[in-house]
Chain A
Amino acid sequence: MVDKKNSYELICYNTDDSGMFGEASRVVFPKDVQDVIKIVFDSQNLVPRGLGSNIVGGCVPSNSVVVDMKNMNNINFDFKSKIVCVEAGVTIKELNEKLKPIGYEFPIICNGTIGGIIAINKPSLMGAYGNIKEWIEKIEFVNGRGELIKFGKADIGEICGLEGITGIITSAKLRVIPIVKRSASIFQSNDLEEIFIVAKRLRLEKDIVMLRFYSPYFSKLLGFPEKYHIIVGFDNEHGKIKDNGYIELFNKIRKDYYKLYKENYRDSEDPKFLFEKVKEFILFLDNFNVPYSGDLNLGIIYPFFNDDLKKQEVIKMIDRMNGKPGSYGIGLKRKKRIDNLQKKIIRRIKLRHDPFLKLNKGKLIDIEDSSTDENKKIKKDLLKTDSNQSPEEDMKKFIDDTQMEEVGNVSMKDNLDDKVDKKLMDKILFNKDDKDELDNKK
């Protein structure tokens, strides 16, 4: 555990890749699920953290306890079912390094730990493999009540993509595939029309897994001629760039945004459109002189900004075109991008799993504490069960309580007898009428 006594360690947890700063009150390093459960019970304001690579402030604390999940890094592979069980602190790079010697790989390639990537539901760099959600078989997480929840595919939506506001992901069972020898080809053109005709055709090919698109300026920074470029990734060796050349190219693409960061383009967006709408958006960006990259398989375009005014204009355009957040998540920075219906649904799920609002406060949606009177009652009930007494004392208390109840019952019965109309009871129980009473008198 790290607390304020050794603050130079704590200061590293105040920020993530977003450049936003908060304040961490403490950092804890759970090693297993039991540790996580204990932490959830003991603390009030928790922020789960993986690699800290979120660029929208997803793991920026606000006087919170940071739960650094990186020490939960076990990997178990089941050969029969070809499913790998991974703890939340394992990075994708580490997972693939472990799987490589046995001939398997996990195709969702991106930066971050498994927990972090599931929390954002990140897509793969090779767009045809989709988002990580599609590769999860089972997931385990500790919710805000301190319960260990295990969900199958059907209920994954209650944790995946919700940025850790409903629970702390502890492990997941993921599907993996045998290692594929991949290759790539590069298509370049000055004509945007031609680029989209080619992309439309390539999207239909089954063995094409990556369609990475670059604007002329971005292409130039990557060392290509100043034209539109599509990097076409094949799931076989049909491409022209193979072996080491492919690995070099892939690594270049993987960290492509660093090139733009160096040119002062440090802010970015990630709108996702239908493929038919992508061209319209790109024409808009070209007119605005905004450099961009994109994934034409998924329809996600990443415009980069060095100017706030341009960014505002582009965001307005994204809203007009109904673009949805594609891969960065919502975090602290982009809460305005969620519509009211989505907010309602997320709020409902959040309160179901985290009624005490312990987890990742202020991320994704804002919920005020005052609206949870009902939850405070649940909290009271839960606290009742927590007893510091010994089992013998508990048992004695239980026996005393039971006796009290019996006494209570008797007195209630007495009271009942007083209130009941005796005539009516005789009529019902013994079938006695007023006539019988008269006969008795006679």
Chain B
Amino acid sequence: MKTEEYNLKQEIKEEVANALRNGIDNEGCAVFRVMRKEHYSPKGKAIILNNDFYEKIIYKCNLCRACGDDLCASFQKARRVLVLKDKEMNANREMIDNLKRTGNIYGIQE
């Protein structure tokens, strides 16, 4: 495990445990309101992270901060961990490639 990945995981665990103790508002989450399953909810994702599961479900978050700034920051860090583990979304990879190649995320040549 890379040092960066390890440090990030420790930070996430602390932040998420704190958020779980302080209470998380599920009802504000737009993704949860559409998907209607616990693992899409902010609380569900926090539990998943707290149990050291880093799955692609973490990408199913709008990063809209409706569940709170601290928790949202943890989800961003979790995405970073997934990138370090090469568990990246194809769309993300494509976007970065496009950016490197053409200077825009859509890959349109000027």
Contact = CB atoms under 8 A, between A and B. Distances in A.
Nearest to B68: A258
Contact of A12 (B21, B27, B33, B38): B38
Contacts of B25: 255
Interface in A376-411: none
A52 interface: yes
A52 to B, nearest CB: 7
A8 B38 contact: no
A379 B71 CA distance: 48
A11 B51 contact: yes
A258 B39 contact: no
Q: With a 10 A CB-CB cut-off, give which of A12, A14, A15, A94 has the most chain B CB atoms.
A: A12
A129 B20 CA distance: 31
Given A70-B36, A93-B27, A12 B41 contact: yes
A355 interface: no
B99 interface: no
Interface string B42-55: 01100110010101
Given A8-B57, A12-B38, A12-B39, A261 B23 contact: yes
Interface residues of B, number: 21
B47 A12 contact: yes
A9 interface: yes
B38 A266 contact: no
A193 B22 CA distance: 33
B37 A68 contact: yes
B23 A257 contact: yes
A174 interface: no
A8 B55 contact: yes
A258 B57 contact: no
A11 B48 contact: yes
A13 B55 contact: no
B36 to A, nearest CB: 4
A168 to B, nearest CB: 17
B26 interface: yes
B47 A11 contact: yes
Interface string A3-22: 00000110111110101000
A51 B27 contact: yes
A258 B23 CA distance: 6
A80 interface: no
Nearest to B25: A255
A124 interface: no
Contacts of A53: 26
A29 B38 CA distance: 11
A15 B50 CA distance: 13
Contact of A51 (B20, B26, B57): B26
A89 interface: yes
Interface in A26-63: 27, 29, 49, 51-53
A49 B25 CA distance: 17
B37 A8 contact: no
A19 B18 CA distance: 12
Contacts of B22: 258, 261-262, 266
A49 B57 CA distance: 21
A12 B20 CA distance: 12
B26 A8 contact: no
A257 B21 CA distance: 12
A16 to B, nearest CB: 9
Given A261-B22, A262-B22, A12 B43 contact: yes
Nearest to A16: B43
A171 B25 CA distance: 24
A11 B43 CA distance: 11
A53 B27 CA distance: 10
A64 interface: no
Contacts of B47: 11-12, 14-15
A-B pairs, top 6 by smallest CB distance, nearest first, are A12-B44, A8-B53, A12-B38, A70-B36, A9-B39, A261-B22
Given A12-B43, A14-B47, A111-B27, 4 more contacts: A8-B53, A12-B39, A17-B23, A255-B25
6 contacts: A8-B53, A9-B37, A9-B39, A11-B53, A52-B26, A70-B36
